[in-house]
Amino acid sequence: MEISKNKEKTTQKIVLSGILIAIATVLGTFSIPVLGAKASPVQHFVNVIAGITLGPVYGVACAFVAALLRNILGTGSLLAFPGSMVGVFLAALLYKKFKKIELAVIGEVIGTGIIGALLAYPVAAVLLGREVALFVYIVPFSLSSIIGSIIAYIILKIKVIREFLLK
């Protein structure tokens, strides 16, 4: 009986992962101009949802696959890897430890907006050959992650959706 429940749980995680990857890949091109930067909030929305519902391992896998697909399709950049993967990881860890949606949101914003932005610097400098300042990505990454995280927070505060995702 226990093995059957584990298989069912794994199947649910894989299915939800696929849905979240599809959302991030298809809607990831949507952006909003904010203070001279392009905010692409969909990946951050997905990161908070994945962090809360799937945990760190599946959440990071979702972020990686979505970034990979967007790069293959020509709609993303290599900068998506450090930002999204660190953001979802921190969101998932904080939610797993404290079971508070607000802390998952904070984890996404700090993980993507600060840590991921700093990790994007060597990616830009070494892999993309861009000469940029160390802190250049903090403002756009933070703005984007704040917008997407707020959207996720609002949606997760809707009782019916929260109960469906967290059952």
Tokens of 79: 């900068």
Sign of the four-CA dihedral 6, 10, 16, 19? negative
In angstroms, rounded to a whole number, what is the distance separating the alpha carbons of residues 165 and 63? 18
List beta partners, residue 38: 33
Full pLDDT tens readout for the chain, 167 residues:
567 788 889 999 999 999 999 999 999 888 777 655 567 899 999 999 999 999 999 999 999 999 999 989 988 888 889 989 999 999 999 999 999 999 999 999 999 999 999 998 888 888 777 778 878 889 889 999 999 999 999 999 998 888 888 77
Cβ proximity of 152 and 127 under 8 Å: no
Cβ proximity of 76 and 30 under 8 Å: no
What is the model's pTM? 0.91
Domains along the chain with CATH numbers:
2-25+41-165 (1.10.1760.20)
